[in-house]
Amino acid sequence: MPYLFFAFIAFFLTVAGTFGVRWLAKKWQIVDAPTERKVHCRPVPLLGGLAIFVSFFIVLGLAKFFTPYLNGNLANRQLMALFLGSVILMVGGFLDDKYNLKPRWQIIFPILAAMAVLWGGVNLKEITNPWGGTVALNFWHWGAFVPLTQLLVFGWLMGMMYTTKLLDGLDGLAAGLTAIGSMMIFFLANSQKFYQPDIALIALIFAAANLGFLIFNFYPAKIFLGEGGSLMSGFILGFLAIAAGGKIATTLLVMGIAALDILMVIARRVYRGQPFWQADSWHLHYRLLALGFSQRQVVLFFYCLAAGFGILTLFLQSRGKVLALFLLVIIGVLISASAEKGIGIFKK
């Protein structure tokens, strides 16, 4: 019951905050103007992630300082790292939305955010072996420096941040998938097997904040997440996956199609001799639009895949999750190939 109370506060604070952020973005002329590559045909305010950021951390602060619900798995330093990393992303996102920074400057802020998490001591000590037991990751260390663990955490957070950043190309896609991923972590962390009530509460608050924003962000969007919001979505989701005892497979099953699509697009750019960071319209959601599907249909399709594979994680053991990941990769490759050629299940 207390969980629902905090979730409702986060939801309604985000709804109220989005009105204010939208007004500020219009006043400061921080809008996403339509271009040939983009799917919207009118200027749309940015900075929407600021509403999620403010409501999420206000409710988190209330839970931390006025209740006993966050005195569990996460240390104060780890929570501070989560806050500090999110602040860095929101500052960098504001600068990019306002001044359109070059890629070499944009990447500084995600790197600093990931380093803040390493400073906070959030790491992977071990991962589950699908064939039984666990595999320790902290066998190689130099004092407080654990190279393998910290490299994995850094790479995971960077990958998650850029997954949600690049997903933010259709109305409601990034916010909706983030909400689904957060809910799956909530259900797992609240189960008897993994019981981690503080992480469950944080995941539910974040899901509720994203759902409050989704009211304004679903097609036709009245406001976008912006650079900071899209990066923060993956950052917090990636943080929760690690803090929840390495729920990386769970998160990958929710975000898997999107992450696979990004890897395939990057590989295509490298193969063609393009800079891998150069924006184009080869992402799966753009190709599905080109085949005649509406924005709502494409977004709901991604939602269904994410929710379906996410629900599987609630019942599968580690080996089953690995098999599900293989199945997800096969489905992703088939969908991508069909969408590119305009044949198969997507042919009109």
pLDDT of the residue at 103: 83
Predicted confidence band of residue 39 (pLDDT cuts 50, 70, 90): low
Interval 299-338: pLDDT, tens: 998 899 889 888 887 777 767 777 887 788 787 777 777 6
pLDDT of the residue at 344: 42
3-state secondary structure the chain: CHHHHHHHHHHHHHHHHHHHHHHHHHHCCCEECCCCCCCCCCCEECCCHHHHHHHHHHHHHHHHHHCCCCCCCCCHHHHHHHHHHHHHHHHHHHHHHHHCCCHHHHCHHHHHHHHHHHHCCCCCCEEECCCCCEEECCCCCECCECHHHHHHHHHHHHHHHHHHHHHCCCCCHHHHHHHHHHHHHHHHHCCCCCCCHHHHHHHHHHHHHHHHHHHHHCCCCCCCCHHHHHHHHHHHHHHHHHHCCCCHHHHHHHHHHHHHHHHHHHHHHHHCCCCCCCCCCCCHHHHHHHCCCCHHHHHHHHHHHHHHHHHHHCCCCHHHHHHHHHHHHHHHHHHHHHHHHCCHHHCC
Q: Flag whether the pTM goes above 0.85.
A: yes
pLDDT of the residue at 295: 87
Interval 146-178: pLDDT, tens: 667 788 889 999 999 998 998 887 899 999 999
Interval 202-249: pLDDT, tens: 999 999 999 999 999 998 999 999 999 999 999 999 999 988 765 677
